A = this chain, B = another copy of it.
């Protein structure tokens, strides 16, 4: 019943100079893992080649040098992160503050359990001095998307009395992101565990109780 329509050997072209897609895919997939695990400098082209099951010269036939390989890999991975979609602004804006917080919390809960995302964040931050353009790409494609959505929510909910929607959006997002960094990347979960649900509840209290305030 399951017919694999995928052509594993040859497929589309990615420009005037076509490569067999499978090899390039092998390299990209393996290089991502090795780079995410070791960072840029500690990753050798030999290890990438071994992990990809190709010989080193093959990598150089697809990518100019180590730097270009790294940039291409991380760019690709970053673009993939916008699958983490906050795209449906219309729907979000319509839900209640409680539901809004639940939804955001759920997004970050999946992110908190995604070990590859932890490694990705670690590398983007760790290499942000040598590769600032990658950090900027991450800011623009991932962070800004989420922030704009949350910001739009507060803009459309004046009853919450939050006069700076952008800053309010940052408080929400920043609380969750820093939790992931602290607990999962820095290893805080082994020292002082803090569950994401507890942070969600605090934010719910802080945000939702505002509907009970006597209007100014």
- Tell me whether A167 and B127 are in contact (CB under 8 A): no
Complex contacts, A40 vs chain B, CB 8 Å: 41-42
Chain B residues with Cβ under 8 A from A175's Cβ? Answer: 170-171, 174-175, 178
Size of A's binding interface in residues, CB under 8 A: 64
Assess whether A81 is interfacial by the CB under 8 Å rule: no
From B119, B143, B187, contact of A132 by CB (8 A): B187
Which of B42, B138, B170, B178 contacts A41 (CB under 8 A)? B42
**Residues from chain B with Cβ under 8 Å of A41 in the complex:** 38-42
Find out whether the CB atom of A126 lies under 8 angstroms from the CB atom of B212.
no
A122: chain B residues within 8 A (beta carbon)? 125-126, 128-129
Interface of A is mostly: helix
CA distance A119 to B38 in the complex (A): 19
Interface status of A77 (Cβ within 8 A of chain B): no
Q: Select from chain B the residue with minimum beta-carbon distance to A163.
A: B205
Indicate whether A166 sits within 8 Å of B182 (C-beta atoms), given known contacts A126-B127, A128-B122, A171-B206.
no
Q: Would you mind naming 6 contact pairs between A and B with Cβ atoms under 8 Å apart?
A: A125-B185, A138-B186, A139-B186, A143-B182, A147-B192, A167-B202
Closest 8 A/B residue pairs (Cβ): A126-B126, A174-B178, A41-B41, A41-B42, A167-B198, A178-B178, A135-B186, A206-B206
Given contacts A40-B42, A170-B194, 14 further A-B contacts (CB under 8 A): A37-B129, A40-B41, A126-B126, A135-B187, A143-B188, A144-B191, A161-B205, A167-B201, A170-B178, A170-B179, A171-B171, A173-B178, A174-B174, A212-B214
